Structure 1
Amino acid sequence: MDFQKLCVSNQHSDQCDIASKTTDTTDQQWEQMCLPLEEPFTTPVPVPLESQTRPSKYGLKVTYGTDGWDTPVIWLVPDFIPGTGVGTLVSASMGLKTFVAVHLAGCITSGTPFLGMPARNGLVFYVAAEGASGLPRRLKGFELQNNADCGQKFVLITQPVSMVNDDERSALRQIIKQESESQNEAPVLLVIDTFSQCSAGIDENSAGQVAQYINYATQLANEFSMAVLIVHHTSKSGGYRGSSALLANMDFALESNRVKPESPIKTVVSVAKSKEGATGINAEFHLSPVELGLNDNAGRPVSTLVVTDAKLIEKDAAPHATRDIDMSIIQGQFTERPTDSIPRDQLLASLSAKFPEIAPSTIDKRVSQACSALVEMGILLEEKIGRNKAYRLKHSDSNIGDSDDNDVDDPLDF
């Protein structure tokens, strides 16, 4: 089989390496070119017990009893991302999710702590399906801010890659194997940014097709003992866009909720789902502009936003963080209709859909608190539709937009 060529680059090179495999190269020959994952890399990979990998006579792998119960839990980032598995980072458009993903990648590739915790060090493969030219600047901003060096461990793929396309998926697999062998480093994270741009060939509202997509991503995660992080958008109602199978089939889910007003620029990242740990863990990320030391063609300094402060939110700060998250979700309802009034009942429904496990009475109270705060800040106006409350943006030309992160959420990137 001939594999489609993918363009791969890193922030220290203007050249592209083309990874391809021709029909003259057998699978056995290719395997011999790659280092085994267990020994050369600095991060140990747990090896399953023999019974866990023993196929039955029917060709299926089986285990018995409690085999494997004591296999160590390996984290990419403790409590946030497991060492192996598929998850998602979700936010509304302009929700700063790409900045959080780049910050995570920078920490992993440079050995910088993430939220004060050690991250598993290794290669990061970043599929930038849109706005790829801005990613190296954002990573450079991370290096300047943290006095760090990511080297060539950040491998940028500058075009969409669909998990359901056999040729593209196979080419991605060979790129990961080739870079792992040539750099003598373990691949620990694959970022797909975004799901929408890297899902050509499927209907994102089809449960079966979405499940197949996640299954292919899981195969890659298991093969390389790495995490796969899929960057995704919320729907207009604030929930996950597309089929519910997306969240249902994930091993973990992170949500980024941008906090307004933006002084400073910040977002709250929450663990919404975790098969290996607890949910409800919140972290706050503050972002600031950093000049990169060069000018654009108009002679103006080129800057980018970078995470300048990140911290876990303690339990006694959770109510404030919860209100900030609710305010961000409610503001997101005006993305597609900035000049319209939205009934309070609709805001209740959107928050209920976001947090189905929370009692309706609690949701009602949270909507009241968030809307009152937004009115006090001069962001929303309260009005009446009949006997019911409704809300409208105070200024119809609000800076809320509906574009992908890589295009517009960093006005300082040229």
Structure 2
Amino acid sequence: MSRFVSNTFKKLISYKEYDLWTKIVNLRKRIKSPLALSFGSLGWKNGTEWLIENYVPSRSVGFIFGDSQDLKSFLVAQWAFNLATGEPFGDLRVNKGPVVIICAEGSNSFPKRIKAIENKYNTNVEDKIITINRPIAMLIQQEVEMLHDLLDELKNTFGESPKLLVIDTFSQCSAGIDENNAGDIARYINTCKEISEKHSITVLNIHHKNKEGKYRGSTALYGNVDFIMETKREKQNSSDAEEKISTKLSLTKSKDSSTNVSHMLDFSEKSLGIEDNFGNILTTLVLDKVTSVQKTANSSNNCAKDFIVSFLRDSDKEYVDQSDLNDAFKSKMPRLGIGTVKKNISFSCRELINEGKILEKKSGRNKAYSLTAL
């Protein structure tokens, strides 16, 4: 057995690593603990396993944010189809498997969206997309146990665990918690992580942005999850504006990969071939095109972010006005025009807010910033 294991691992790890692996296997036998333990750097070569290439890792917990018209749910319907059938998402590969959707805001539209996608690809998802047609209260034990039982039953039925659990939406399934309370958010995310770990499933929460264009809730949300994406509806200036509806998908946080990932998604309205009770043709949106958008690193923006954090840390004020940041950064970068300075400071502040590193306070048109107390 030892010889077989050694030969199998020979191409993957060095003999020194194999000796460490053997030592740790024996150590685990002696240490009796229900906790998941790791030792040293063993396993460092394990790469990220993707559910949706470059965006959604397997066996993880994350969020996708967007305004109400940013097409989040249409995108998630497309991803459910891709996973259920194995159809690539544009030029990105997927890890085929069943999908569970908690349609907490109503399920009437979801089957129509899936049917329109099936028509486009001439492929049926059969029984590989399962919808739960009511909210699941994720902090009530009885509700969570029902979800555990369902996932176990689906594994027994399909012979594999579902790959993705979508919670649509976070607010509907987090009833009774304070979104701005770090403790409440941590308990919610811990519940998602327990589900993810027990069933080897990715849990994706759909959440709305606030009026400032940021995610709603405590900064604990940003810090405790594995990945975060956002959608942003694009304005149309072309002659086909009525035919094409676009949103930009961007990865804004990933624990194990680069966030230099962004795609433009073009949707169009498709007829379902049926009518409502007044004879109106029913339609829905279907994804037509996925185009990669290469995000470029802007050295002045990166410099501005570092400058802002340093300036706020050294300031004796609780909040620093954006105008003061502009003036100080202009002094540091005299070759930059004032317009560029203002743009870099504004953009960098927005990124730092999304990263949960600074807070914003508004007074009329004036903005001020402070470091986040983590």
Q: TM-score, normalised by structure 2?
A: 0.70
- For the residue of structure 2 that corresponds to 1:71, the secondary structure is coil
Distance 1:200 1:223 in 2: 23
Task: Please point out which of 77, 87, 92 is paired with 1:102.
Answer: 77
Larger Rg: 2
Q: From the superposition, tell whether residues 314 and 59 of structure 1 become closer, same or farther in structure 2 (CA, over 3 Å).
A: closer
- For the residue of structure 2 that corresponds to 1:216, the secondary structure is helix
Distance 1:171 1:156 in 2: 14
How far apart are 1:98 and its partner, in Å?
0.7
Q: From the superposition, tell whether residues 53 and 159 of structure 1 become closer, same or farther in structure 2 (CA, over 3 Å).
A: farther
Q: From the superposition, tell whether residues 58 and 226 of structure 1 become closer, same or farther in structure 2 (CA, over 3 Å).
A: closer
Task: Assess if the C-alpha contact under 8 Å between 1:81 and 1:252 holds in 2.
Answer: yes
Q: Deviations over 1:300-332 (max 9, x none)?
A: 22110111111211358x99xxxxxxxxxxxxx
**Residue matched to 1:283:** 263
Asked if 1:185 corresponds to 2:160, the answer is yes
**Residue matched to 1:365:** 343
Counterparts in 2 of 1:109-128, with a 5 A limit? 109-128=84-103
Task: Please point out which of 40, 48, 54 is paired with 1:73.
Answer: 48
Asked if 1:271 corresponds to 2:251, the answer is yes
Instruction: Kindly tell me the number of residue pairs found equivalent between the two proteins.
Output: 289
Q: From the superposition, tell whether residues 51 and 240 of structure 1 become closer, same or farther in structure 2 (CA, over 3 Å).
A: farther
Structure 1 unaligned spans of 5+: 1-48, 320-344, 350-358, 370-385, 390-414
Task: Assess if the C-alpha contact under 8 Å between 2:261 and 2:294 holds in 1.
Answer: no
Structure holding more helix per residue: 2
Asked if 1:239 corresponds to 2:211, the answer is no
- For the residue of structure 1 that corresponds to 2:257, the secondary structure is coil
Q: CA RMSD in A?
A: 3.1
Q: Residue 120 of structure 2 aligns to which amino acid in structure 1?
A: Q
How far apart are 1:107 and its partner, in Å?
0.6
Structure 2 unaligned spans of 5+: 1-23, 299-321, 327-335, 348-363, 367-374
Asked if 1:145 corresponds to 2:120, the answer is yes
Distance 2:133 2:27 in 1: 38
- For the residue of structure 2 that corresponds to 1:278, the secondary structure is coil
- For the residue of structure 2 that corresponds to 1:95, the secondary structure is coil
How far apart are 1:206 and its partner, in Å?
0.7
- For the residue of structure 1 that corresponds to 2:173, the secondary structure is coil
Distance 1:85 1:52 in 2: 28
Task: Assess if the C-alpha contact under 8 Å between 1:176 and 1:187 holds in 2.
Answer: yes
Task: Please point out which of 198, 202, 208 is paired with 1:223.
Answer: 198
Q: Residue 237 of structure 1 aligns to which amino acid in structure 2?
A: E
- For the residue of structure 1 that corresponds to 2:94, the secondary structure is coil
Q: Deviations over 1:20-54 (max 9, x none)?
A: xxxxxxxxxxxxxxxxxxxxxxxxxxxxx957976
Task: Assess if the C-alpha contact under 8 Å between 2:113 and 2:286 holds in 1.
Answer: yes
Task: Assess if the C-alpha contact under 8 Å between 2:261 and 2:295 holds in 1.
Answer: no
Q: Residue 265 of structure 1 aligns to which amino acid in structure 2?
A: I
Q: TM-score, normalised by structure 1?
A: 0.64
Higher normalized contact order (CA 8 Å, seq sep 6+, divided by chain length)? 1
Q: Residue 166 of structure 1 aligns to which amino acid in structure 2?
A: Q
Q: Residue 185 of structure 1 aligns to which amino acid in structure 2?
A: E
How far apart are 1:280 and its partner, in Å?
2.9
**Residue matched to 1:307:** 287
Q: Residue 266 of structure 2 aligns to which amino acid in structure 1?
A: H
**Residue matched to 1:338:** none
Q: From the superposition, tell whether residues 84 and 55 of structure 1 become closer, same or farther in structure 2 (CA, over 3 Å).
A: farther
Q: Deviations over 1:273-292 (max 9, x none)?
A: 01121113110111101111
Q: Residue 122 of structure 2 aligns to which amino acid in structure 1?
A: N
Q: Residue 124 of structure 1 aligns to which amino acid in structure 2?
A: V
Distance 1:132 1:239 in 2: 27
**Residue matched to 1:292:** 272
Distance 1:53 1:276 in 2: 26
Task: Please point out which of 138, 146, 155 is paired with 1:171.
Answer: 146
**Residue matched to 1:92:** 67
Q: Deviations over 1:157-184 (max 9, x none)?
A: 0000122110111101111111221122
Task: Assess if the C-alpha contact under 8 Å between 1:259 and 1:266 holds in 2.
Answer: yes
Q: Deviations over 1:33-89 (max 9, x none)?
A: xxxxxxxxxxxxxxxx95797684565443222222233431101210101110000
